[in-house]
């Protein structure tokens, strides 16, 4: 059993309206000095295998096919 975390973020240069909305809301709540907020997604998964190479290959395929829109998003994979 392998635990994995996939983090998906927007690529540099891609507009992030949700990040801008969060930035504005933080300012409205009195948090000063906050800028360049970018939002993303985190997926925690458990893979039923002991083969780290296969797990990483499967995770990459999951990201390419479903978890990330690779046109506008980057992803990173970490195994535990």
- Alpha-carbon distance of 69 to 80, in angstroms, equals 24
- Alpha-carbon distance of 29 to 35, in angstroms, equals 14
Give the model's pLDDT for residue 13: 94
Give the model's pLDDT for residue 24: 96
Phi, psi of 29 (to 5 degrees): -85, 0
pLDDT tens column, 26-68: 999 999 999 999 999 999 999 999 999 999 999 999 999 999 9
pLDDT tens column, 3-28: 999 999 999 999 999 999 999 999 99
Give the model's pLDDT for residue 57: 97
Give the model's pLDDT for residue 58: 97
The fold adopted by the segment(s) 2-79 is: Mth169; Chain: A , (3.30.1280)
Give the model's pLDDT for residue 63: 98
């Amino acid at each position: 059993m392998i635990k994995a975390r996939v983090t998906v973020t927007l690529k540099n240069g891609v507009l992030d309206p949700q990040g801008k909305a969060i930035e504005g809301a933080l300012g409205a709540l009195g948090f000063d000095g906050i800028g360049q907020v970018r939002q993303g997604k985190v997926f925690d998964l458990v893979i039923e295998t002991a083969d780290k190479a296969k797990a990483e290959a499967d995770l990459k395929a999951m990201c390419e096919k479903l978890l990330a829109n690779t046109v506008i998003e980057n992803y990173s994979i970490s195994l535990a």
